[in-house]
Amino acid sequence: MIMKDLLRPYYLNINKIIYKGSGYYCNICNKSYRKFLPAGNDKRQNAKCPGCGSFERHRLLMYFLKEKTNFFNSNLNVLDVSPNKTMHNLFNQMNNIKYTSVDLMMSYVTQKVDLTQLPFDNETFDCIFCYHVLEHIQDDIKAISELYRVLKRNGWAIIQSPFDKSLNKTLQSEKIMTSEERKEVYGQEDHVRIYGKDFISRIESVGFDVKEDDYIHTFSKDDIIKFGLDKEEIINFCIKS
């Protein structure tokens, strides 16, 4: 893992040359490519930027932040949970942002902490990102309530997790314990549940108001492909009012 981290910049720089071209554009590294790469266990197509390693959700977030939030023009205290390294580096160098990133394991975050026990005062942050984290955490409701606690009144959070829209109720069982069983039932060996349609009500249960924003529908079909976006991604914009 450490070797992979060390080699990552070289690998991405080589990719920038190999995949240089037109037809596909990444708004994170601001470059065009001849394709995006497949990613994930299911090898979903048109997903990963060859030059910066960003995924569909990162690129949609960037468009969303620019068009629909004050992220680039207000002074904000930002908490980013388990960020992708590219996003971490990008946000960390912004002058208007006081940036804190947290994770239990990642080497590059600013603080190694447990999301269910955040070492921050109540109402510390203006804005929080929590992308693809909660499905790894046993007590996800405690984690969400910690996010709510450290967010300022009128602050906002974006909380995303993979979910199965064919499930009405989140699937989690103490009988599913081994890596093999988790991979089989939850889709990934380090996931502890698969969220269903009740994901939003779990976020709301700690006090958040959640707006399910279908911002993705403002993009044309062609642009969704060109920008490497997920045509079904809904952004969970969570407000502490």
Q: Which residues bind Zn ion (CB under 5 A)?
A: 26, 28-29, 49, 51-52, 54
Indicate the pairing of strand 76-81 with strand 125-131.
parallel
- Measured from the CB of residue 228, what is the shortest distance to Zn ion in angstroms? 9
- Shortest Å distance, C-beta 194 to Zn ion: 29
Q: Is the torsion defined by CA of 71, 72, 78, 84 positive or negative?
A: positive
CB of 29 to Zn ion, least distance (A): 3
Shortest distance (Å) from residue 36 CB to Zn ion: 9
- CB 86, min distance to Zn ion, A: 7
- For the bound state, the minimum distance from the C-beta of residue 57 to Zn ion, rounded and expressed in Å, comes to 13
Considering beta carbons, is residue 28 or 109 the nearer one to Zn ion?
Answer: 28
Closer to Zn ion by Cβ: residue 47 or 238: 47
Of 49 and 134, nearer to Zn ion (C-beta) is 49
Cβ distance to Zn ion smaller for residue 26 or 158: 26
Of 54 and 236, nearer to Zn ion (C-beta) is 54
Report the residue number, 32 or 69, with the smaller CB distance to Zn ion. 32
